[in-house]
Structure 1
Amino acid sequence: MFQLFGSLKPYLKPSSCTIDNNVFRLHYRATVLILVGCSLMVTARQYFGDPIDCISKDDIPSNLLDTYCWIHTTFSIENAWKKRVGDEVPYPGVDKTTPNEKRVYHAYYQWVCFVLFFQAILFYVPRYLWKATEGGRMKNLILGLNNPILDETSKNTNRALLVEYLYKNLNHHNTLFIMYSVMEVLNLLNVILQMIIMDRFLGGEFTNYGWDVINFTEWDWSVRYDPMIKVFPRLTKCTFHRYGSSGDVQKHDAMCILPINIINEKIYIFLWFWFYFMAIVSVIAVIYRAITIVVPRVRFLATHSRCRVANRDALSHVISQASIGDWFLLDLLSKNLDSLNFKDLVKDFYSRLEGKGADSL
């Protein structure tokens, strides 16, 4: 298992420079790792066995039958889901063939690993676009001030350079803030879109999948069947046709065991809870972003909460004089700089702004 997930270890290392918030990191780091890990898990036959094993009383080679049923999909009988196992049917969804039977075909298991990996890529797209827009600006602006142990000369010099940058580029960071806000909205839309994709991928069963599993224990035993088995059946049917010795088409029924669905059902029940959680926190993040745009006071409270040693009056004055883009850059600096260095930065920037005001009078 360590070898299987060892390739994901580099992505667990924390970044030396913060250019986003915790919700954003849940999208491109935690969710991407979960989806890629699940994709690797589905393909790990050495841990979970063959994905399909079909049994038949006929003389068809088992390897041939397994390959055929894997490629051409298996199916369940719709009206056999709730029949009594052992009396009426051998397994939920498996029944004898009738002329008017309604079949539910299962082809998703061939694509699970690819779909999960594709979803991981979609979750990383907003991060990629944001990094391309930010262009390493924050990493260059830190100037070593994230280190609490820095000689006084270098500290004063680098802080002066940073103050001068902030002063000369005042009101020029709104595009940066707009792009970040758009990426937060894109994160929310991406989660919703992916939930729709998974619902279509699983034949409309994903939306209520988690609720059905939660309510499973409260069902009456006379009608109780595991909803995970309906979405991810462990035993299905497969029909193989071939020519007989006389040239007539022969029909061979087989029952196929799908060990892969044991892990698939666990993966998707976890993803159901995770995606709903991600949708909720993404909505909260977008609401918070809207509040910071509408209510300037929230900007001050958010930044001051990260660096309480900074002078409240100086920080409030700086944020009130700056545009929302400048506040956004200052807020990112508060996440990256040492608290004492950020305190001195706010004080120096405040003095620089006051000098600008005095010159204009």
Structure 2
Amino acid sequence: MTQSHRRSHRARSHQHTYVHTGHVHTQDHRYDQGHSSQELSSLAEYVVPDGLDSVLGSFATYARLKGRYDDDWIDRLNHLYTTIILIIFTIVVSTKQYVGEPIHCWCPAEFSESMVDYTNNVCWISNTYFVHFDEQIPQHTDHKRTREIGYYQWVPMILLFQAFLFKIPCILWRILTASAGVNLDKIVTLAAETQYVAPDDRERTIKHIVRYMDRWLENAREYRSGCFIRLRQTISKYCCIVCGKRYGNYLVTIYMFIKLLYMSNAIGQLFILNEFLGTNYNVYGFEVMNHLARGEDWRESPRFPRVTFCDFKIRSVGSVQSRTVQCVLPINLFNEKIFIFVWFWLVFVSALSTANFLIWCYTMIFRQHRIRYLKKFLRINECYKSELDKKMAVKFAEQYLRQDGIFVLRLVGKNANDVLVSELILQLWNHYRNKPLFKHANQISDDNSNV
């Protein structure tokens, strides 16, 4: 390597982060140059020390799977874990259906091997019908059609379609938040990862997050004036009928809409499967629990019969022969167990999604709960003592943070812990009190109280 190459290599290395004994040393001027929107992206380079790579390396795969931090664990239960479960079921059923032999028909002795293969194939692609062994086989075609089972060929497709439906709200959430002017995932990720860094890096990270949030909150304000604008701003404080980036409730309104989609999707899929299977699938789980409560053996279900009948015709020279064969569907052994689990899982996810939606409505839509949330942390930090602090706390919640700012803090608490939320609120409170406009208002209030 030439001397000029060595100098250029050293020059480039001085522009990067240096690692020494597991701690990261950065040049402070790289964070003080301007206030670009890429500040949080640069913070990710030093928040987690390289010394922790050996410790956290085994969790790399899970971290990629878990994805982002811009929602809560109920949302991830819907769009991540439920999707993974449904895709696994799709692979299991597809392997048995397209690699193995999903159907076996009992053919007459005079059938050759090629005729047996033909019978299996034609009965698989056509809908078989179920008749209990205690009943006579219907003679009319219309009666047979009412007993047809036409879902087993499409089970992999419907499971994949279900997985896609669970992913749609997450896709919409990330598309809509991309234009909100704030990187939710980066804020919550950096706040959560400060639990594993040195105290100096932790404090510096929190300060940069606060500065980033302050610029976002300032840029999202409405600087126009007018009676209609003031009216819309007043309405937006109490309900989400008026929504906009300038009114401080854009993220909250979108998030509540996404929550509603998660809940509707989980409940609606029970009815979708009811139409797809052509049976009373809505009460399937209750029937299973009833059999288990009575101590009865769980045998073949009429919804997923394993022995069915198939009618087909063979055209020969000068005549058409009709054949009826008895077939066994091993694939329904898997379908039965899969859809039993899917029923209980959908009910479980529906209940949690509904409860989570109501909790978020209770905590975010009502004004007094948002203010109470901030007051709790201000009391912990001993910032809520005088009458002036109480008045400023309301302005801090309604005029500075507003609904979207409190929503971001709640997301940090859901994905990290309340200790970080407390530190962020303390830094935001000090940042708010040190603004020139608010310092002037505080001095006037103090003078009036002295008089």
The aligned residue for residue 330 of structure 1 is 409
Q: In the TM superposition, what is the alpha-carbon distance from 1:359 to its structure 2 partner? A: 2.3
Cα distance 1:214–1:118, how it changes in 2: closer, same or farther (>3 A)?
same
Q: Distance in 2 between matches of 1:278 and 1:302?
A: 27
- Match of 2:381, as an amino acid? N
Q: State which of 33, 57, 62 in structure 1 corresponds to 2:108.
A: 57
- Match of 2:126, as an amino acid? H
The aligned residue for residue 292 of structure 1 is 363
The aligned residue for residue 117 of structure 1 is 160
Asked whether the 8 Å contact 2:313–2:321 carries over to 1, the reply is yes
50-59 vs 252-261, which moves further: 50-59
Percent identity over paired residues: 26
Q: Distance in 2 between matches of 1:98 and 1:143?
A: 66
Q: Distance in 1 between matches of 2:370 and 2:157?
A: 42
Q: Distance in 2 between matches of 1:193 and 1:265?
A: 20
The aligned residue for residue 4 of structure 1 is none
Asked whether the 8 Å contact 1:18–1:336 carries over to 2, the reply is yes
Gap runs ≥5 in structure 1: 1-8, 90-94
- Match of 2:337, as an amino acid? K
Asked whether the 8 Å contact 1:187–1:282 carries over to 2, the reply is yes
The aligned residue for residue 31 of structure 1 is 82
The aligned residue for residue 21 of structure 2 is none
What does 1:1-361 align with in structure 2 at a 5 Å threshold? 15=66, 17-45=68-96, 49-57=100-108, 59-60=110-111, 61-77=115-131, 80=132, 88=134, 95-99=136-140, 102-103=143-144, 104-135=147-178, 137-141=183-187, 144-145=190-191, 146-148=193-195, 150=197, 154-170=201-217, 172=220, 173-217=248-292, 226=299, 229-244=301-316, 247-299=318-370, 311=381, 317=393, 318-319=396-397, 322-335=401-414, 341-356=420-435, 357-360=438-441, 361=444
- Match of 1:55, as an amino acid? W
Asked whether the 8 Å contact 1:333–1:342 carries over to 2, the reply is yes
Structure with more contact order per residue of length (Cα contacts < 8 Å, sep ≥ 6): 1
Q: In the TM superposition, what is the alpha-carbon distance from 1:320 to its structure 2 partner? A: 5.7
Q: In the TM superposition, what is the alpha-carbon distance from 1:69 to its structure 2 partner? A: 0.3
- Match of 1:354, as an amino acid? R
Asked whether the 8 Å contact 1:309–1:340 carries over to 2, the reply is no
Asked whether the 8 Å contact 2:378–2:426 carries over to 1, the reply is no
Q: Distance in 2 between matches of 1:54 and 1:186?
A: 44
Asked whether the 8 Å contact 2:378–2:425 carries over to 1, the reply is no
The aligned residue for residue 5 of structure 1 is none
Cα distance 1:217–1:308, how it changes in 2: closer, same or farther (>3 A)?
farther
Q: Distance in 2 between matches of 1:351 and 1:162?
A: 14
- Match of 1:261, as an amino acid? N
Q: 1:223-263, CA deviations, whole angstroms, 9 ceiling, x for partnerless residues?
A: x984x520000000001211245x22111110110000001
Q: In the TM superposition, what is the alpha-carbon distance from 1:332 to its structure 2 partner? A: 2.0
Q: In the TM superposition, what is the alpha-carbon distance from 1:302 to its structure 2 partner? A: 6.6
10-19 vs 208-217, which moves further: 10-19
Asked whether the 8 Å contact 2:266–2:349 carries over to 1, the reply is yes
TM-score by length of 2: 0.65
RMSD of equivalent CA atoms: 3.5
Tell me the secondary structure at the aligned position of residue 242 of structure 1.
Answer: strand
Q: Distance in 2 between matches of 1:10 and 1:208?
A: 38
Asked whether the 8 Å contact 1:49–1:259 carries over to 2, the reply is no
Q: In the TM superposition, what is the alpha-carbon distance from 1:188 to its structure 2 partner? A: 1.1
Task: Give the structure with higher Rg (CA).
Answer: 2
